[in-house]
Structure 1
Amino acid sequence: MEAPSVSESTPTATPEIARGTWLVVPLYNEAPVVREVIEAARRTFPNVVCVDDGSADDSAAQARAGGAHVVRHSINLGQGAALQTGLRYALRDPGARWIVTFDADGQHRIEDALRMVERLRDEPLDIVIGSRFLDGRTKPGLLKRAVLRAAVVFQRITSGVKLTDAHNGLRAMTRETAARIRITQNRMAHASELVDQLGSLELRYAEEPVHVIYTEYSRSKGQSLWNSVNILSELIFK
């Protein structure tokens, strides 16, 4: 099994950002890799909460060994539900100023997350959304690219929000934004629901170029043909 990609150099956050940022990591059956992902993330962002969404393996124990706070769902509710639980947990910290949603399988890069938080600190923005399609670094398969492009067109028609990547799990938001967001779609449709709320809540948003790393492991976990079909079906029938 191919391990997740971890940067050789650790990006350095200012003390203000390190103390004020929480990573929210949905977690489901990621025991082989999650400890390494959390340990790498915590070198930049010490505050990490993993929401173990009814895993059948020892994902929770591995995340805890990596230094994360761990909240557990007794049954699998879906990624949307895990994100909502994680947001609420992070908001319990009065020092939380920024919250980042981050995947557990190693496909997101901490340096991208840090750059997105820095934009929230420096620019009049409520949320920054990662995009795989603002540069040429990310190499999704042809089917994946086609599905994601279709999702973008669908979202523009239904919400009026103009994004280039509507289903990217790497997002950074202010505390105030996290408190306003309500995720009611438990599974893949939660991403579309979040985009809808960008428009309905009139949030100030921007996209940031990010490099999503598709390893053999991450593809087996969530980048498959069936996952692409699920995205389309939930967009249509949500």
Structure 2
Amino acid sequence: MTILIPSYEPDSRLIALIHKLHEVSDASILVVDDGSGEEYRAIFDSAKEAGCTVLTHSINQGKGSALKTGFDYIRQYGNDDGVVCADSDGQHLPGDILRLTKAVREHRNHIVLGSRQFTGKVPLRSRIGNSATRMVYTLATGMPIQDTQTGLRGYSSDMLDWLCQIPGDRFEYEMNMLLEAPSVGYDLIEVPIDTIYLDDNKSSHFRPLADSARVYFPFLKFCASSGFAAILDFMLLLLLQWMTSNLLVSVIGSRLCSSIFNYVMNRKFVFAKRNGTVIRKSVLRYFSLVTVILLLNYGLLHLFHDNIGIPLIAAKLLTEALLFSFSYWAQRKFVY
């Protein structure tokens, strides 16, 4: 087993963690210096003296990049027992790291997450951030998990090729990993760990605005694409309803036009894969989904507008809100 520790501008807690791990485990330790600079050379030299392999980025490239550097090294020179990633700021206990190494051996081809329970004193920024990403992940995949932002994660060695190909160089890398895992057949397993925040998490290099935007970017792109399609659908619905006074014809006509627009935008910008998706298959899947959503759309509109008497504009807005999350989850899971 290899313990991989990405590190940027660490302090003595990194060395303390290394020594504690050596006391309780014979796992090899790989540290990636993500461009910390000369000021931190002594700390990484101490890590080498403690028996660690240290890889160095000449400039800061981000946590995702540091993890991929470590994964690439392990797949070339490491063992086939798996890898556990831990942070360098002392917030992962050696005992919890060892629990993940055991879980990785027991659950091959799974992503093992060290799941914090967020009990006790948790900084407000961290509590809000974790709650938000849990909600976004659940909306995106339909699979709720407790801790989407944990840095303590374990992987089987045969997952390394995939781990090196996931897009993202900074904190968004770890969210992209969770989003892509279901589509490639990797299940998630959560192992409860202690929730530890030292000095109100001041050592964290997470930038609330810039890095949050990166983490949420896939979902934000979908919101933008769906928003433009919804505006088109809404305008066409009102126009066709005014022209025909037939709700079914109006729903079908507006949905057909907006769906073609939405498919092109989503395939090109939102769910685009590095190796591409076969157009024929994604078209068939997408418009099969469109048919399902069309029926749901008409059924809900008929219920709200014709049966309950809600004005058409309000009924349309309510219907689209109800179908939005379902559409995102279905497109990511089945279409692209």
Q: Same fold (TM over 0.5)?
A: yes
Q: Which has the higher strand share?
A: 1
Equivalent position of 1:5 in the other structure: none
Q: CA deviation at 1:40?
A: 1.4
Aligned residue number for residue 72 of structure 2: 88
Do 1:24 and 1:90's aligned partners in 2 also have CA atoms closer than 8 Å?
Answer: no
Query: For the structure 1 residues 102 and 94, does the alpha-carbon distance in structure 2 shift closer, same or farther, using more than 3 Å as the test?
Result: closer
Contact 1:127 1:203 survives alignment (8 Å): yes
| TM-score, with structure 2 as normaliser | 0.59
Does the 8 A contact of 2:2 with 2:79 survive in 1?
Answer: no
SS of structure 2 residue aligned to 1:221? coil
CA separation of 1:177/1:161 partners in 2, compared to 1, >3 Å: closer, same or farther? farther
2: distance between equivalents of 1:234 and 1:104?
22
2:181 matched residue in structure 1: 198
Q: Match for residue 18 of structure 1?
A: none
Who is 1:236 aligned against?
216
In angstroms, what is the RMSD of aligned CA positions? Answer: 2.1
* Rounded Cα–Cα distance in structure 2 between residues aligned with 1:174 and 1:101: 12
The Cα shift of 1:193 comes to 0.9
Distance of 1:233 and 1:95 partners within structure 2: 36
Output the amino acid matched with 2:36.
S
State the Cα distance separating 1:55 from its structure 2 match: 0.7
1:25 has 2:5 as partner: yes
Tell me which protein shows more helix as a share of its residues. 2
Shift in CA distance, 52/96, structure 1 to aligned 2, threshold 3 Å: same
Q: 2:194 is matched with which residue?
A: 211
- Greater shift in the superposed pair: 98-107 or 174-183: 174-183
CA distance in 2, matches of 1:220, 1:72: 24
Farther-moved stretch of structure 1 (144-153 vs 62-71): 62-71
Query: How far off is 1:112 after superposition?
Result: 1.2
1:52 maps to 33
Alignment of 1:57-76 (within 5 A): 57-58=40-41, 59-76=43-60
Greater length-normalized contact order (CA 8 Å, ≥ 6 residues apart): 1
1:98 and 2:79 are equivalent in the alignment = no
Residue in 1 that maps onto 2:152: 170
Match of 1:187 in 2: 170
Partner-residue secondary structure (3-state), 1:92? helix
Q: 2:61 aligns with which of 61, 77, 81?
A: 77
Length-normalised TM-score, structure 1: 0.81
The total of aligned residue pairs comes to 213
Aligned partner (choices 117, 131, 139) of residue 121 of structure 2: 139
* Identity across the alignment (%): 25
Unaligned runs of 5+ in 2: 219-336
Distance 1:31 1:174 in 2: 29
**Partners in 2 of 1:197 and 1:169 — Cα distance?**
17
Distance in 2 of aligned mates of 1:78 and 1:124: 28
AA aligned to 1:23 is I
